[in-house]
Amino acid sequence: MATANKNLSVYDKETIPNAKDFRFGIVVSEWNTEITNGLYLGAVEALKDCGALEENIVKWDVPGSFELIYGSKKMIASQKVDAVIAIGSVIQGETKHFDFVCSGTAQGIKDLNVLTDTPVIFCVLTDNTLQQAIDRSGGKHGNKGTEAAIAAIKMAALG
């Protein structure tokens, strides 16, 4: 696994732009809530640590990871955000559904990055097991939500 020797929550605050003047959207899948809530908390903590104001962080919930695309698109259109973090968790099951959801979600978020001037950060865990998801959402590998927040700040600063 790519995160085996990396803690996702480690960043050098001195190299991150101050986020106080940016507005962030976070769209969170309600599927696998234990995981997505951990990712959300990691993202918010990192945003605030880097200067983002709580009133400049907007959270919307959507039913699942596939719906992150539409939720992110609507957030960009209506909330005047500088970046969106799309948070989801898809865990391998016994059917091909996993492949379709992961592929469609990744492609949809990629499309938003091509079609809009607002960066959308892909924070969707695509794990083989629940334990892998736990390990990457605040467990032994840190928090992918933290990593996504740092990416959102850096991308917002490009605008």
Number of domains in the chain: 1
Please name which of 101, 151, 146 lies closest in space to residue 121, comparing C-alpha atoms. 151
The sheet carrying 57-62 orders its strands as 57-62, 24-29, 83-91, 120-127
Question: In terms of DSSP bridges, do strands 24-29 and 83-91 run parallel, antiparallel, or are they unpaired?
Answer: parallel
Residue 80, domain extent: 22-158
**CATH at residue 70:** 3.40.50.960
- Residue 53: both structure tokens together: 């104001």
**Residues annotated as catalytic (active site), given as ranges:** 97
Query: pLDDT by residue for the chain (159 residues), tens digit each?
Result: 455 556 768 899 999 999 999 999 999 999 999 999 999 999 999 999 999 999 999 999 999 999 999 999 999 999 999 999 999 999 998 888 899 999 999 999 999 999 999 999 999 999 999 999 999 999 999 999 999 999 999 999 997
pTM for the structure as a whole: 0.94
**Does any domain span residue 17?**
no
